[in-house]
Amino acid sequence: MPRARVLIPLPDHDFDTTEVAVPWRILTRADIEVVFATERGAPAACDPLLLSGVVFGKLGAEPEAKALYEALTKTAAFKYPLAFGSLDVASFDGLLLPGGHAKGMRQYLESRALFDQVRAFWKLRRPVAAICHGVLVLARTVDPETGRSVLFDRKTTCLPKYMERTAWLSTAWKLRDYYRTYPEYVEDEVKRSLAHPEQFERGPIHLFAKGTDVDDRAAFIVTDANYISGRWPGDAYRLGKALADKVLARTVASSEDGTSRASTARR
């Protein structure tokens, strides 16, 4: 059976450490190849404040996520990403769209080249996962046949407004609008891309409880057919495992279908 491959597009800098490093670890642990891509094929870097601590050394990535990120940066896949425009999306079995909130994310969240590739992959109906601001990429990816977002008829979550507002108001005294990527809240824009606001699922209200590799009860994800979405770094382990399961299931099904067709042809 061929090895499954998952694509993770990134901005040149400011992506969320946890939302990339944790799923990367889960996917590679499942023997899934992870391929990174950036706008021009240049190496990416996470938001540095998430490594040092956003305020007084706090509010950054957890120690485990930092260690995973350090390991990730030493891999050839991360050092030598592909360029958005050169991707052959049909060669991938899954797609992960991570988030981040610092201003460098705008390069990725506004990339027409990335929208084109995401649109092409979405039409393949293969597993797609998005977390936090990464859901905005899907909200902004429009199907020219309908004039609507690819999320129009899907259930989804994303960074909830209460989380974004709380992070911004509690740190604005020092960091101004660091936690506001755009004037509009992520939740509001995502809801506008849907057929009905009820398709958005906020999840339980909490600010500090995070899922871990061994206990993801505090995590929350939404699954709708081949699409999986998460809210924030605290959902990264659960989202990564759900994506890995879907990708592996698809690979097994494709392999069995190919074997069946080959057997039929020999008869």
Residues sharing a CB contact under 8 Å with residue 58, sequence separation 6 or more, in sequence order: none
Task: Name the CA dihedral angle for 38, 44, 50, 55, rounded to a multiple of 10 degrees.
Answer: -100
CA distances from 101 to 16, 38, 133, 225 (A): 7, 17, 7, 27
Which amino acid, residue 224? D
- pLDDT at position 257 is 67
At 198, give phi and psi (nearest 5°). Answer: -65, -15
Strands 148-149 and 142-143: antiparallel
Q: Scanning the structure block, which residue is given the tokens 């699409």?
A: 227
- pLDDT at position 206 is 81
- pLDDT at position 261 is 39
- pLDDT at position 80 is 98
At 118, give phi and psi (nearest 5°). Answer: -65, -40
Which amino acid, residue 147? G
Positive or negative torsion for Cα 129, 242, 91, 257: negative
Is residue 153 within 8 Å of 164, Cβ to Cβ? Answer: no
Is residue 193 within 8 Å of 153, Cβ to Cβ? Answer: no
Is residue 28 within 8 Å of 247, Cβ to Cβ? Answer: no
- pLDDT at position 59 is 81
- Find out if CATH 3.40.50.880 is the number for domain 5-260: yes
- pLDDT at position 264 is 38
Report the alpha-carbon distance of residue 159 to residue 164 in Å, rounded. 7
- pLDDT at position 14 is 98
**Which regions in the chain score pLDDT beneath 70?**
1, 56, 257-267
- pLDDT at position 122 is 98
- pLDDT at position 54 is 86
The tokens describing 248, both together, are: 């592996």
